[in-house]
Structures are given as structure tokens and as C-alpha cells.
């Protein structure tokens, strides 16, 4: 069967996974009466809840005698480690762009990787049936983006289509028949080259492992594209690291190919196809699986280095061990090492104490997803504020700079520009209209200045603004950036919060907890209205007497507390604070729970 390997890349929420749903349906991958959930490729619970793609996943469809292997890639730069590996498996890319928003930062990030590998893109302008769609403007912006990224003449001469993924059609002309996706299938078969590896089926077997998975019945599974030769079940092969070291020899117990949404056992893997292998014990991502006669590993694409680090520690608060079962540092370390093995964008290192671990990654969202998965598995953790990783270049201290693209209503643009170019040391790069009453702002801001900014941004724009960010470059250190301006309200007692006490404390600031919540000394229960921390007593009840007076029996009405999500809490805390994460709760507390130790530490800092 003829073969094509493609990846679909797009910015978050531009309709990539919805389009893959329609490709699967119209190619006959499902039965007529088969029940298929929406966004079928988003199989992880967090992916379905948040509506984003986190893990790259292959699938395949058959179209008129051609098998098309499709890789659904993440749309967020925090998960760029997945994208950089996946692009080495494909021979072409379909770039999906929202016809109203145009190319966005994550589009730019992934496209730059694809163009650098020499892949020729197909551009699909999606959602052209929306009222605010401007397909011609979006197409011009895509061309300008390709030119800025250094695309060659063949890549600039890209074919384009107009589509609606939700409605299930794609046409070469904007006013086409709008019936189905046949035109897109035919364009993929015509434009994407056949894998060159097919000609090497008689050579020794070689495959570069790009993703790591596991199966409760067969164990470790490594997925990649067969670069040369052929492999049968039961054959003995070896694995070689990217540095040329031989890791192990093993017998292949299972070969699985992607057929629709399922993985199907096959007897033989041929050059050019994307398959999963089982049987190995130690081999991992970026290793070369090959015949015993092969000595040299395949080239593995370098992964961009991490830009932030977060400290994962044991939960040592007075409420530790009540919710989760996995609380020991040894168990936490094993889980983090397992994560780093399959996710090459994450680096783990031990702290001198041995009770905590430095986890370096791409961004706050990537860390938030890892922490959320761990808490659902029963872990209890204490998480530090994210710290930016610095780099010395020619003896000069450099820090990561991010390109921030912001879409806001015109009336809020002034407040946003003042925040990002003032104390946060950002540089305004571009400002232009983005539709009726909307402004698009592009700025280069230090990563340090963006930690904790998203909550402020939503407040400044009354929840109507959209902020996207992507790594831009390393630049010389830009000096100190002030952190959170407000202090916090700290509990000085241990017990259960009382409504009357919280009602009296509302004049001091906004609350993070409600009545009947467990508290302990050092726990952060609210934000102070001033810039200093304040210790308060949330357990103080109403004194009762035998004298009745007007107002004595009035019911206490509390303002609804502010509930911070995991990412918001991690971004909110200061350097001397931690987030306590358990399966059932997210709390914030001071790093030093003992008040005398806190005061000594504060004096030492001054």
C-alpha cells in the first residue's frame, strides 16, 4: 500500500483535533453506527477537561489505496518537547490557522521547527465560516511568517485550502461546494512525498524511538518510524543510545501499527511505517532500535533546554497524610524519574537535602499538568514558586525572553502596555488593530516578569483578554523585577475556621478559604489589603452573653472566597511560600511554619 506520513500543527484552540475527527470519519475509520466521542484523539483526562492537546499521538486513515499516518501534535509551546521529536517521523505538515486570529505564537514555534527540517507545508485556513473570519488577511500573515522564519522558495510556494473542521469540509476556493474533505485528502496524497525509507527495505533494520508508552500486559512500548529494513515479531534486536553506547539486546514480543483510533498487532514492520515495539527493558526515547549488525545510532533531534525550574518536596504540613497515600520522598523521586524518562523536555535533579527535587521544564502549564497528574495518582507534594533558569554566554548572565501576543479590547490596551513595559521590563514590538474594537499587542518580556502576571492580566481586562506566550531568545539580564505587591493573611492558630472570624477579617483583605475549613499556623488564608504580611486568628468565635440586644442574632454573610487553581496558586506564591498539593486540596503556606523561625528568617533576609 502507498504510504504518507504527516503531522498536523496548529495553535491552541484552532480546531486541529476537531479536523482529525472529521478525517477519521470521512475516511471510513469508523462504522456507520459506531459511537465516537468528540475530539476522539484527546484520550487523556486533562486533555478532555481543558480542551488542549498535551501528548502527541499517531493515527492512520486509508484513502483510495493510500495509508496516511497522521500525528496530532500539541498546540502549546510548554509541550514543545513532544513536537520536536514527532516532526522527525513525518515527511510533510498540515498547518492549521484560524481564519479570524491568523498565525499565533505557538503556530510560529512549531512551524519554525518544521521549516528547519525542510518539510513542505500545506496551509489550511480553518473556521472560514465564522462571522469575523478574514481568510485573505490570515493567508498573507502566514506567508509573512514563513518568510520571517527563513523558508526556502519551495516552502514559500505552499498550497492552501479553506476549511471548516467542525462542518467537515475543505475546498481550494473560498466559495467552493463545501461538501466534504476529499480535496484535502487528494492534496495530501499529491503534495506530501512518499517516505524515502521505503526504498531501504532490504537494508538492516533501524528505528529511532520518539515516544515512550506502557501497557499493563506487555510493559514498555517505544514508538517511532522504521528508517530502514524490516522487522518481524520474535526477532532479536539491540538498542544504541544517541552517544553510541549499546544499551541492551532484546527479543521483540509485539509490533503494533496505528489503524484508526486503535493499535493493531502486525507480524512485520516495513521501512517508512510508524509502529510501536514491545520487549525492551531499558531502552527509551532518542535511542536507536536496530539489527545486531548495526553499530551507528540514528541522528536524534536536539531538544531545546528548559527555561524554568520548580522544587518538588514532601508535604510536611500538619495536615500531611490525610488525603494521599504517596507521601515519601523516595516514592516522589521514582515518579519524577519515570516522567523524565518519557518526557525529554523535563530534567530532574536532587537538592542537597535529598528531601526535595528540582524539576526543570518549559513553562508553568507543563509543570501544572505534571503536578495535577501526580495529585490524581494519590501524591502529596509541596511546590515552590517557579524560578527562571539563567545562562552564562561569553561571561554575561542571560535570561529567557518570551514573545507575548495579547488580544484585548481597545479600552484596556493602555493598562496592559503599562504593566508589561513598566516594572516587568518588557519591550513593545508591535501594536495593531485585530478586528472591531480589538487591539493586538506583541511584546518581548522576560520570563521572570510573566510569572504570576496572568491573574493580574485577567483583572485588568475584565476577563476579556487573551494572552499567548512562546520562548523568543536569550538576552542579557534586565535587572530586578518586583514580585507580588500585596501581603498575605496568615493563620496563627490550628483548627477549623469560623464564619464570624472570617467575617471580621474581610476588612483586612480577600479570603482564600471559607468557613469550616481546616487551618494551621503558617497557612495562607487570604490576601492582605496592604503590602505586609499579617498573622490573624480565623478561629475566634463570637462571645455569647445572657443579654440580648438588637443585631445579636443577625446571620453572618460571608463574601464568596477566591478559589485559586493549581497554576494560579503556583504563580501567586512568593519565594518564601509553598503550595501544598493533595488529592483533595490545594493550600498555600509559608515555607517556615514556626512563627519564630519565620521572623528570624525575615530578619536574615533584610
pLDDT digit string, tens, across residues 54-69:
677 788 888 888 888 8
- Whether the pTM exceeds 0.85: the reply is no
Chain segment 575-589, per-residue pLDDT in tens: 889 999 999 999 999
> For residues 43 and 461, what is the distance between their CA atoms, to the nearest angstrom?
33
Cα 125-126-132 angle, rounded to 5 deg: 95
Query: What is the percent of the chain with per-residue pLDDT over 70, rounded to a whole number?
Result: 89
User: At residue 342, does pLDDT exceed 60?
Assistant: yes
Question: What average pLDDT does range 500-509 have in this prediction?
Answer: 89
Confidence of residue 112 (pLDDT cuts 50, 70, 90): confident
For residue 415, give the H/E element and its range: helix 413-421
Question: Would the pLDDT of 251 be above 90?
Answer: yes
Rounded (10°) CA dihedral 183, 188, 190, 194: -160
Mean per-residue pLDDT for 234-245?
A: 90
> Is-contact 189 153, C-beta < 8 A?
no
Predicted pLDDT of residue 588? 93
- For residue 195, report the phi and psi dihedrals to the nearest 5 degrees: -55, 130
433 within 8 A of 552, measured Cβ to Cβ: no
pLDDT at 523: 92
Q: For the ranges 12-26, 375-389, 554-568, which has the lowest average pLDDT?
A: 12-26
The pLDDT of 35-42, averaged and rounded, is 53
Please state which of the ranges 154-168, 193-207, 306-320, 535-549 shows the lowest mean pLDDT. 535-549
Please calculate the CA angle 298-300-305 and round it to the nearest 5 degrees.
165
The answer to whether 522 and 595 are in contact (CB under 8 A) is yes
d(CA 290, CA 509): 63
pLDDT, tens digit, for every residue of 456-470? 788 788 878 888 777
- pLDDT tens, 254-280? 998 888 777 888 999 888 888 999 988
C-alpha cell at 156: 514559500
How many CB atoms are located within 10 Å of the residue 304 CB?
14
Q: Among all chains, which residue has been given the C-alpha cell 492558630?
A: 493
Residue 274 DSSP SS3: strand
Cell of 425: 521590563
Exposed e or buried b per residue across 31-66, where buried means at least 16 C-beta atoms within 10 angstroms of its C-beta: eeeeeeeebbbbeeeebeebebbbbbbbbbbebeeb
Q: Which helix (H) or strand (E) holds 348?
A: strand 347-350
Q: Percent helix, strand and coil across the chain, each rounded to 5? A: 25, 35, 40
> pLDDT value at position 166?
84
Cβ-count burial of 197 within 10 angstroms (0-12 exposed, 13-18 middle, 19+ buried)?
Answer: buried
Please check the confidence at residue 289 and state whether its pLDDT lies above 70.
yes
Question: For residue 537, what pLDDT is reported?
Answer: 92
pLDDT in the model for residue 108 = 77
Q: What is the pLDDT of residue 605?
A: 47
Alpha-carbon gap, residue 586 to 593, rounded angstroms: 17
Please name every residue paired with 57 in a beta bridge, in sequence order, or none if there are none: 72
Least confident of 14-28, 85-99, 344-358, 480-494: 14-28
Degrees (nearest 5) of the Cα angle 69, 75, 81? 80
Q: Can you say whether residue 127 is alpha, beta or left, with left for phi > 0 and alpha for psi between -120 and 50 degrees?
A: left
Q: CA 7, CA 96: separation in Å to the nearest integer?
A: 11
Q: What is the DSSP string of 160-172?
A: EEEEETTTTEEES
Q: Please name which of 296, 171, 208 lies closest in space to residue 244, comparing C-alpha atoms.
A: 296
Is 97 a residue whose pLDDT tops 60? yes
Mean pLDDT of the chain: 84
Non-local (6+) Cβ contacts of 535 within 8 A are 490, 491, 492, 595
What is the rounded CA–CA span in Å between residue 527 and residue 283?
49
C-beta of residue 366 within 8 angstroms of C-beta of residue 576: no
Assign 517 a pLDDT band (cuts: 50, 70, 90).
Answer: very high
Q: Is residue 519 over pLDDT 90?
A: yes
Residue 606 binned pLDDT confidence (cut-offs 50, 70, 90)? very low
Predicted pLDDT at 549: 58
The whole-number average pLDDT for the span 319-326 is 87
pLDDT per position as a tens digit, 440-450: 888 999 988 88
Question: Which residues, 6 or more positions from 33, have their beta carbon under 8 angstroms from its beta carbon?
Answer: none
Q: What would the mean pLDDT of 279-301 be, rounded to a whole number?
A: 86
- Record the cell numbers describing residue 145, joined without a space: 511568517
Of 130, 166, 180, give the one whose Cα is nearest residue 38: 166
Does residue 487 contact residue 533 with C-beta atoms inside 8 Å?
yes
- Contacts of residue 576, defined as CB under 8 A and 6 or more positions apart, other chains included, come to 590, 591, 592, 601, 605
pLDDT tier at 33, thresholds 50, 70, 90: low
Q: CA–CA distance from 414 to each of 64, 158, 183 (Å)?
A: 55, 38, 45
Contact yes or no for 306/362 (Cβ under 8 A) = yes
CA distances in angstroms from 139 to 128, 173, 429, 548, 565, listed in the order given: 12, 13, 22, 75, 37
For the stretch 216-236, pLDDT in tens is: 788 888 888 898 888 999 999
Amino acid at each position: 500500500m502507498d504510504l504518507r506520513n504527516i503531522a498536523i500543527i496548529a495553535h491552541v484552540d484552532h480546531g486541529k483535533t476537531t479536523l482529525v475527527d472529521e478525517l477519521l470519519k470521512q475516511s471510513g475509520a469508523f462504522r456507520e453506527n459506531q459511537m465516537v466521542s468528540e475530539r476522539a484523539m484527546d484520550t487523556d483526562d486533562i486533555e478532555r477537561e481543558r480542551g488542549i492537546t498535551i501528548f502527541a499521538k499517531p493515527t492512520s486513515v486509508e484513502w483510495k489505496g493510500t495509508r496516511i499516518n497522521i500525528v496530532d501534535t500539541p498546540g502549546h509551546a510548554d509541550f514543545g518537547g513532544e513536537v520536536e521529536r514527532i516532526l522527525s517521523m513525518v515527511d510533510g505538515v498540515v498547518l492549521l490557522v484560524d481564519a479570524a486570529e491568523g498565525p499565533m505564537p505557538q503556530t510560529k514555534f512549531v512551524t519554525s521547527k518544521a521549516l528547519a527540517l525542510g518539510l513542505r507545508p500545506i496551509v489550511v485556513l480553518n473556521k472560514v465560516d465564522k462571522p469575523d473570519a478574514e481568510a485573505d488577511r490570515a493567508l498573507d500573515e502566514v506567508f509573512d511568517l514563513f518568510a520571517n522564519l527563513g523558508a526556502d522558495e519551495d516552502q514559500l510556494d505552499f498550497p492552501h485550502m479553506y476549511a471548516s473542521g467542525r462542518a467537515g469540509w475543505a475546498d481550494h476556493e473560498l466559495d467552493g461546494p463545501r461538501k466534504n474533505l476529499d480535496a484535502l485528502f487528494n492534496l495530501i496524497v499529491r503534495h506530501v512525498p512518499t517516505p524515502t525509507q521505503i526504498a531501504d527495505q532490504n537494508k538492516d533494520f533501524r528505528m529511532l524511538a520518539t515516544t515512550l508508552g506502557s501497557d499493563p500486559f506487555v510493559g514498555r512500548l517505544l514508538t517511532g518510524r522504521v528508517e530502514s529494513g524490516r522487522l518481524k515479531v520474535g526477532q532479536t534486536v539491540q538498542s544504541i543510545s544517541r552517544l553510541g553506547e549499546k544499551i541492551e539486546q532484546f527479543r521483540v514480543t509485539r509490533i503494533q501499527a496505528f489503524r484508526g483510533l486503535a493499535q493493531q498487532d502486525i507480524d512485520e514492520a516495513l521501512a517508512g511505517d510508524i509502529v510501536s515495539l514491545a520487549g525492551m527493558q531499558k531502552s527509551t526515547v532518542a535511542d536507536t532500535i536496530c539489527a545486531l549488525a548495526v553499530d551507528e545510532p540514528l541522528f536524534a533531534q536536539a531538544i531545546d533546554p528548559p527555561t524554568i525550574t520548580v522544587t518538588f518536596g514532601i508535604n510536611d504540613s500538619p495536615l500531611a497524610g490525610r488525603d494521599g497515600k504517596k507521601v515519601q520522598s523516595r516514592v516522589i523521586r521514582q515518579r519524577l524519574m519515570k516522567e523524565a524518562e518519557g518526557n525529554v523536555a523535563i530534567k530532574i535533579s536532587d537538592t542537597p537535602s535529598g528531601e526535595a527535587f528540582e524539576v526543570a521544564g518549559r513553562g508553568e502549564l507543563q509543570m501544572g499538568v505534571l503536578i495535577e497528574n501526580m495529585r490524581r495518582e494519590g501524591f502529596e507534594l509541596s511546590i515552590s514558586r517557579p524560578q527562571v533558569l539563567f545562562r552564562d554566554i561569553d561571561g554575561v548572565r542571560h535570561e529567557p525572553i518570551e514573545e507575548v501576543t495579547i488580544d484585548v479590547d481597545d479600552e484596556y490596551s493602555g493598562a496592559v502596555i503599562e504593566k508589561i513595559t513598566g516594572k516587568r521590563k518588557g519591550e513593545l514590538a508591535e501594536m495593531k488593530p485585530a478586528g472591531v474594537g480589538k487591539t493586538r499587542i506583541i511584546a518581548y518580556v522576560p520570563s521572570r516578569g510573566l510569572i504570576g502576571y496572568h491573574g493580574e492580566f485577567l483583572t485588568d481586562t475584565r476577563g476579556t483578554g487573551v494572552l499567548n506566550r512562546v520562548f523568543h531568545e536569550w538576552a542579557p539580564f534586565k535587572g530586578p523585577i518586583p514580585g507580588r505587591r500585596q501581603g498575605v493573611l496568615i493563620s496563627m492558630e490550628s483548627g477549623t475556621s469560623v464564619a464570624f472570624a472570617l467575617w471580621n477579617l474581610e476588612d483586612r483583605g480577600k479570603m482564600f478559604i471559607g468557613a469550616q475549613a481546616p487551618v494551621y499556623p503558617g497557612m495562607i488564608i487570604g490576601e492582605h489589603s496592604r503590602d505586609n504580611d499579617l498573622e490573624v486568628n480565623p478561629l475566634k468565635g463570637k462571645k455569647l452573653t445572657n443579654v440580648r440586644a438588637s443585631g445579636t442574632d443577625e446571620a453572618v454573610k460571608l463574601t464568596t472566597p477566591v478559589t485559586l487553581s493549581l497554576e494560579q496558586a503556583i504563580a501567586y506564591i512568593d519565594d518564601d511560600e509553598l503550595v501544598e498539593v493533595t488529592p483533595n486540596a490545594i493550600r498555600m503556606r509559608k515555607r517556615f511554619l514556626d512563627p519564630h523561625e519565620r521572623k528570624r528568617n525575615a530578619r536574615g533576609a533584610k
